[in-house]
Amino acid sequence: MTASPAPLLTGIEDRLASLQDLYRDLHAHPELSHQEVRTAGIVAARLREQGWRVTEGVGGTGVVGTLANGPGPVVLLRADMDALPVREATGLPYASTRTAVDADGETVPVMHACGHDLHVTCLLGATALLAANRSAWRGTVVAVFQPAEEVGGAPAMLDDGFLDRFPRADVCLAQHVAPAPAGLVALRPGPMTAAADGLAVRLHGRGGHGSSPASTVDPVVMAAAVVLRLQTVVSREVAPERTAVLSVGSINAGTRENVIPDTADLKLTLRSTTSDVREQLLAAVERIVQAEAAASAAPKPPETTLLSSFPATVNDPAASATVDAAFRTALGADAVLTLPQPLTGAEDFGVFGSALGVPSVYWVFGGLDPAGFAGLAPADLATGLPPHIPHNHSPLFAPVPERAVRDGVRCLLLAAGAWLVR
Ligand code: ZN
Ligand code: ZN
């Protein structure tokens, strides 16, 4: 029988105004992946004020706080800190107007369009209450503030000796704000988010004058054929009940209307929730790219490069049931949704649990004004959101801190409390 987590939440209401101010400050000062210097500084300072042992510079800008509070389970709580190269269009008084220089040397606008500012705020709220309410729990908490989630920064923390430098967790927990009404939480046992693989493909042709195509091998036509043929992989090769996505997000070739270029470059993303479908997609891309190049009489074979690879985030069934029960008890059954299928978004949080060999649980919580969802039942939201709702990564994505900060802090403490409160 688990004790009530309520004492862990003592004082939450008194802290909300200051946490909402912190959220607005972080939102107005977003930083690109691997550049989270200001954010990490704020995190480290707050954790120290709260009485946590703090290690900075883990895997780049990562910050790890540790709070040992007697014998008991070790719980890892993780938040990500980075923002995106998106020009904010929310019109909020605390909207970002910032720019930064990205990894390619380009000056780009920056926005917390994925809501990681909310994740940082909520975890700092949870760490404050864990420190203030030490008599309510037993064990150790490792609070991980991770850089560069958008580009898969978690492995950099592991490569920086994470497993040896910090207490070994018994369970890893993390959350993400979703384009759903505030007050709603969703999770599922098993695959929770898809695996994502980013690929670059270079197709080789033979350039020449646009007026004499017969003397060339046109990589633009080759690329067009590849793109269309790739769109048959999910529709014709993957079984309809399996989850798979293949999108070509970038196509580049040539500079002038009358010059046939030598090469064409494609970038694509693959999403899958099981390793066999992942292998199937990767093999199909390679097969089609090679075959289309051969069909065009390409002078040399195409090159495929893996740009990034996120494993699927898989919720341990038993640990997921524990978190689900804690949410249902405290928030009410209507507030907790069991997702019928994994989300096709990707996450790198799963690498912590995999590296430690322990269960992970990852859930999403609604961050938007419920007024925008009038007339929709929670079950409608499990199968697809209305198109007028701005999703994560949209320049219009705007969580409401007046609701979402409280919800996010509560979810973290309710989930952690399922291990720490005995
Ligand atoms: Zn994102
Ligand atoms: Zn995100």
Query: Is 348 within the bounds of a domain?
Result: yes
Please give the Cα distance from 195 to 37 (Å, whole number).
28
pLDDT exceeds 70 at position 157: yes
Q: Could you tell me the distance, in angstroms and rounded to a whole number, from the CA of residue 115 to the centre of ligand 2?
A: 6
pLDDT, the chain, mean: 95
Last residue of a domain, one of 248, 282, 309: 309
Q: Could you tell me the distance, in angstroms and rounded to a whole number, from the CA of residue 203 to the centre of ligand 2?
A: 32
Q: Could you tell me the distance, in angstroms and rounded to a whole number, from the CA of residue 346 to the centre of ligand 1?
A: 8
Which pLDDT score is estimated for 163? 96
pLDDT exceeds 60 at position 224: yes
Which ligand has an atom closest to residue 115 CA?
2
Residues whose Cβ atom is located within 5 A of ion ligand 2: 114
Q: Could you tell me the distance, in angstroms and rounded to a whole number, from the CA of residue 286 to the centre of ligand 2?
A: 29
2 confidence band (pLDDT: 50, 70, 90)? low
Which pLDDT score is estimated for 67? 98
My answer on whether 262 and 178 are in the same domain is no
Q: What residue type is 102 in one-letter code?
A: D
Q: Could you tell me the distance, in angstroms and rounded to a whole number, from the CA of residue 219 to the centre of ligand 2?
A: 35
Which ligand has an atom closest to residue 349 CA?
2
Q: Could you tell me the distance, in angstroms and rounded to a whole number, from the CA of residue 420 to the centre of ligand 2?
A: 27
My answer on whether 200 and 301 are in the same domain is yes
pLDDT tens figures, 345-395 = 889 999 999 999 999 999 999 999 988 888 777 667 766 677 788 999 999
Span 125-141, average pLDDT: 97
CA torsion sign for 102, 83, 267, 311 is positive
Which pLDDT score is estimated for 383? 64
Which pLDDT score is estimated for 286? 98
Query: Is 409 within the bounds of a domain?
Result: yes
Q: Could you tell me the distance, in angstroms and rounded to a whole number, from the CA of residue 192 to the centre of ligand 2?
A: 14
Which pLDDT score is estimated for 384? 67
Q: In what order do the strands lie in the sheet with 263-272?
A: 244-252, 263-272, 195-204, 303-310
User: What Å distances lie between residue 47 and 125, 128, 129, 132, CA to CA?
Assistant: 10, 8, 11, 12
Q: Could you tell me the distance, in angstroms and rounded to a whole number, from the CA of residue 30 to the centre of ligand 1?
A: 13
Please give the Cα distance from 93 to 45 (Å, whole number).
26
Query: Is 341 within the bounds of a domain?
Result: yes
Query: Is 372 within the bounds of a domain?
Result: yes
User: What Å distances lie between residue 261 and 202, 294, 355, 369, 419, CA to CA?
Assistant: 12, 18, 45, 49, 60
Please give the Cα distance from 111 to 105 (Å, whole number).
18
Q: Which residues contact 377 (CB under 8 A, 6 or more apart)?
A: none
Q: Could you tell me the distance, in angstroms and rounded to a whole number, from the CA of residue 65 to the centre of ligand 2?
A: 21
My answer on whether 249 and 161 are in the same domain is no
Span 226-250, average pLDDT: 96
Which ligand has an atom closest to residue 119 CA?
2
Span 266-281, average pLDDT: 94
Which ligand has an atom closest to residue 117 CA?
2
Q: Could you tell me the distance, in angstroms and rounded to a whole number, from the CA of residue 263 to the centre of ligand 2?
A: 34
My answer on whether 294 and 329 are in the same domain is no
Q: Could you tell me the distance, in angstroms and rounded to a whole number, from the CA of residue 393 to the centre of ligand 1?
A: 6
Query: Is 246 within the bounds of a domain?
Result: yes
Query: CATH no. for residue 60?
Result: 3.40.630.10
Percent of the chain with pLDDT over 90: 87
Q: Could you tell me the distance, in angstroms and rounded to a whole number, from the CA of residue 178 to the centre of ligand 2?
A: 9
My answer on whether 65 and 92 are in the same domain is yes
Which pLDDT score is estimated for 107? 96
My answer on whether 229 and 169 are in the same domain is no
My answer on whether 159 and 37 are in the same domain is yes
Query: Is 1 within the bounds of a domain?
Result: no
> CB atoms < 10 A from the CB of 5, how many?
21
181 neighbors 370 (Cβ within 8 angstroms): yes
- Count up the domains in the chain and report the number: 2
My answer on whether 215 and 274 are in the same domain is yes
Span 15-41, average pLDDT: 98
Which pLDDT score is estimated for 382? 66
pLDDT tens figures, 159-183 = 999 999 999 999 999 999 999 999 9
Query: CATH no. for residue 219?
Result: 3.30.70.360
422 confidence band (pLDDT: 50, 70, 90)? confident
Query: Is 375 within the bounds of a domain?
Result: yes
Q: Could you tell me the distance, in angstroms and rounded to a whole number, from the CA of residue 193 to the centre of ligand 1?
A: 12
My answer on whether 31 and 136 are in the same domain is yes
Which ligand has an atom closest to residue 118 CA?
2
My answer on whether 163 and 226 are in the same domain is no
Q: Which residues contact 408 (CB under 8 A, 6 or more apart)?
A: 118, 119, 121, 122, 125, 175, 177, 365, 367
- Kindly report the backbone phi and psi dihedral angles of residue 215, in degrees, each rounded to the nearest multiple of 5, phi listed first: -90, 5
List the single range of 18-22, 322-326, 328-332, 371-375 with lowest mean pLDDT.
371-375
Query: Is 130 within the bounds of a domain?
Result: yes
> CB atoms < 10 A from the CB of 131, how many?
17
Segments forming the whole domain that contains residue 271: 194-309
Q: Which residues contact 266 (CB under 8 A, 6 or more apart)?
A: 200, 201, 203, 223, 226, 227, 248, 250, 251, 252
Last residue of a domain, one of 265, 294, 309: 309
Please give the Cα distance from 177 to 394 (Å, whole number).
13
Which pLDDT score is estimated for 1? 44
Q: Could you tell me the distance, in angstroms and rounded to a whole number, from the CA of residue 176 to the centre of ligand 2?
A: 7
Last residue of a domain, one of 263, 281, 309: 309
Q: Could you tell me the distance, in angstroms and rounded to a whole number, from the CA of residue 222 to the centre of ligand 1?
A: 32
My answer on whether 39 and 178 are in the same domain is yes
My answer on whether 28 and 85 are in the same domain is yes
289, exposed or middle or buried, with CB in 10 Å at 0-12, 13-18, 19+? buried
